[in-house]
Amino acid sequence: MTALTDLTIAGMKAGLAKRDFSAAELTAAHLTAMAGARGLNAFIVETPEIATAQAAAADAALARGEAKPLAGIPIGIKDLFCTEGVQTTAGSKILEGFIPQYESTVSGKLLGDGAVMLGKLNMDEFAMGSSNETSAYGKVISPWKAQNSNRELVPGGSSGGSAAAVAARIAAGATGTDTGGSIRQPAAFVGISGIKPTYGRCSRWGVVAFASSLDQAGPMARTVEDCALLLTSMCGYDAKDSTSLNVPVPDFAAGLTGDLRGKRVGVPKEYRLDGMDATIAKLWDQGLEWLKAAGATIVDVSLPHTKYALPAYYIIAPAEASSNLARYDGVRYGLRVTPPGGNLADMYSATRAAGFGAEVKRRIMIGTYVLSAGYYDAYYTQAQRVRALIARDFEQAWAHCDLLLTPTAPSAAFAFGDKADPLAMYLNDVFTVPSSLAGLPAMSVPAGLSADGLPLGLQIIGKPLDEAGVLDAGLAIERAAAFTARP
């Protein structure tokens, strides 16, 4: 029999419904796996008592025949989501010991649908990073190793704990958040699926803010169907978030077909970078073939402003972050450092100097700089113009196609320390950032392996609110790729 932790969420649902196993057994299996995989450092806080109690409640609901859609499904919650009564740090020392009195809308919806919370997942500090090296709680280590190498690899970031936990079969699924690729890139690095829905689909209420105009929650899981199941629970209008979209949420899993007949898939030529990894280029072509086989027609499209996306992103996101992170000032919660004899300004400086890590400080400084008098127009205003042009690129592309297929990241997972230069690290987001700037739904699905046996993902980008179309294309690739490799 398959280990319980190897089941998909759909498989777990079926097994629970048939009473092949109980939610308590399922949760216990995951808690055991969690305890056995602490070396990965995927969790900042483990919540076995909560999980056990929620599993018992799920069993009771199952017994009554009143089980909610995710009853008994053990998941991890990225530590960016505020969880009532459970420490929430956003991976930062400045929030160490912070216990929210409230539950984020998205985690609340998942738990409300019966999901079991295993714990809070490690992440890059304030979601700023692509390798999980910026967490104040230690780096998350990918469960994968390259062939013939013993070097520890990054799980990607910022949702690295989510990625590692799901890939290592510690959690059936996890929440992630994606500002410029933080769901898709780690999903690709560890060989799982992850979708960032349209900006506004998931409420940001209770999610620690990085860059408000870009932040979007989404699920990470081992199959496209599992992503669809979680996404259905996570989405929905929330009056507490002014940017939340008041649109109906379809049952994404029920609507999945993988049938792409009549769909046109665009190939943006600007994504074919000079010196692109040959394996990735080949996998991309292979992906297009798979989609064709599923009924799609392939068209070449142009997104002419793509090359400006990364610079614009690294102005807009830090600008918003520099303001969003001003509230961590030592006055009301979190870390406070009071230098002897110091005044208020000294307390701010000391608190923020001790509480924030280097990458967060770097982005606060970049953001402060680009918003400063005399620089605002040259940087921030210009970046907003670029953002509008990038959104227009996509709108024009939708005249010719329904979906876009691209690689998720320019490389497979790298080893710790290999991208010590921040700029080299930022380049990792080159394929994921444009769709973030345009607020479009986009997902990564595992499609193959690199030359040294590491997972590679393909990215599907869709029209606004067409998560269903993105998931269908993801399913088509998943079926065709038959990706069975595991760490």
Partner 1 sequence: MTYTDNGNHGSYRVKGDTGDWEIVVGLEVHAQVTAQSKLFSGAATTFGAEPNSQVSLVDAAMPGMLPVLNGECVRQAVRTGLALGAEIHRWSRFDRKNYFYADLPQGYQISQLYHPIVGEGTLDVETDDGTRTTVGIERIHLEQDAGKSVHDLHPTMSYVDLNRSGCALMEIVSKPDIRSPAEAGAYVAALRQLLRYVGSCDGNMDEGSMRADVNVSVRRPGEGFGTRTETKNVNSVRFIMQAVEVEARRQVELIEGGGTVVQETRLFDPNSGTTRSMRSKEDAHDYRYFPDPDLLPVEFDEAFVADCLASLPELPVAKRARYVEALDISAYNAAVLTADVETARYFEAVLDGTGAPLATAAANWVTSELFGALKKAGVGIEASPVKPGQAADLLKLVGDGSISNSIAKQVLEVMVETGEDPAAIVEARGLQQVSDTGAIDAAIAAIIAANADKVDQYKAGKEALFGFFVGQTMKAMAGKANPGVVNERLKAALAG
Position 368 contacts partner 1 (CB under 8 A)? yes
The binder of partner 1 chosen from 49, 64, 101, 274 (CB under 8 A): 101
In terms of Cα–Cα distance, which of 266, 271, 200 is closest to 235?
200
Residue 45 within binding range of partner 1, rule CB under 8 A: no
Nearest distance, CB of residue 124 and partner 1, angstroms: 16
Q: Is 373 in the site for partner 1 (CB under 8 A)?
A: yes
Closest among 439, 451, 409 to 427, alpha carbons compared? 409
C-beta atoms surrounding 451 within 10 Å: 11
Is 119 or 439 the residue whose CB approaches partner 1 more closely?
439
Q: Which residue number, 88 or 306, has a Cβ lying nearer to partner 1? A: 88
Amino acid present at 45: V
Q: Select from 92-100, 137-145, 147-155, 457-465 the region that touches partner 1 (CB under 8 A).
A: 92-100
Q: Is 19 in the site for partner 1 (CB under 8 A)?
A: no
- List beta partners, residue 219: 175
- Nearer to partner 1 (CB atom), residue 308 or residue 348: 348
**323 or 450, CB closer to partner 1?**
323
CA 111 and chain centroid, separation? 18
- For position 246 contacting partner 1 by CB under 8 A, the verdict is no
Write out the catalytic residue numbers.
78, 158, 182
- The string of DSSP codes covering 411-440 is SS--BTTTT-SHHHHHGGGTTTHHHHHTT-
User: Is residue 51 close enough to count as binding partner 1 by CB under 8 A?
Assistant: no
- Please give the residues from 420 up to 459 whose contact with partner 1 meets the rule CB under 8 A: none
Min. distance of Cβ 92 from partner 1 in angstroms?
10
Yes or no: say if 155 and 132 are a contact pair by the CB < 8 Å rule.
yes
Question: Binding to partner 1 by residue 322, rule CB under 8 A?
Answer: yes
- Counting contacts by CB under 8 A, is residue 160 touching partner 1? no
Each residue 164-203 as x (binds partner 1 by CB under 8 A) or -, in order, gives ----------------------------------------
Asked if 79 touches partner 1 (CB under 8 A), the answer is: no
**Contact between residue 21 and residue 2 where contact means Cβ atoms under 8 Å apart:** no
The DSSP bridge partners found for residue 46 are: 119
The answer to whether 12 contacts partner 1 (rule: CB under 8 A) is: no
User: How many residues sit in the footprint of partner 1 (CB under 8 A)?
Assistant: 44
The phi and psi torsions of 182 (rounded to 5 degrees) equal -70, -10
For residue 422, how many C-alpha atoms fall within 13 Å in the half-sphere facing its CB? 12
The secondary element (H helix, E strand) that includes residue 407 is strand 403-407
- What number of H helices and E strands is found in the chain? 16, 11
Among 211, 310, 445, 461, binds partner 1 (CB under 8 A): 211
243 binds partner 1 (CB under 8 A): yes
446, 186 contact by CB (below 8 A): no
**Any contact of residue 212 with partner 1 (CB under 8 A)?**
yes
Report angle CA 403, 318, 324 to the nearest 5 degrees. Answer: 105
Name residues contacting partner 1, limited to 334-353 (CB under 8 A).
344-345, 348
Q: Is 313 or 483 the residue whose CB approaches partner 1 more closely?
A: 313
Strands 403-407 and 442-449: unpaired
Task: Return the structure tokens found at 469.
Answer: 């179309």
How many other C-beta atoms can be found within 10 angstroms of the C-beta atom of residue 363? 26
Q: Under the criterion CB under 8 A, does residue 376 sit at the interface with partner 1?
A: yes
Q: Which residues bind partner 1 (CB under 8 A)?
A: 81-82, 88, 90, 95, 98, 100-102, 104, 204-209, 211-213, 239-243, 319-320, 322-323, 325-327, 329, 331-333, 344-345, 348, 368, 371-373, 376, 380
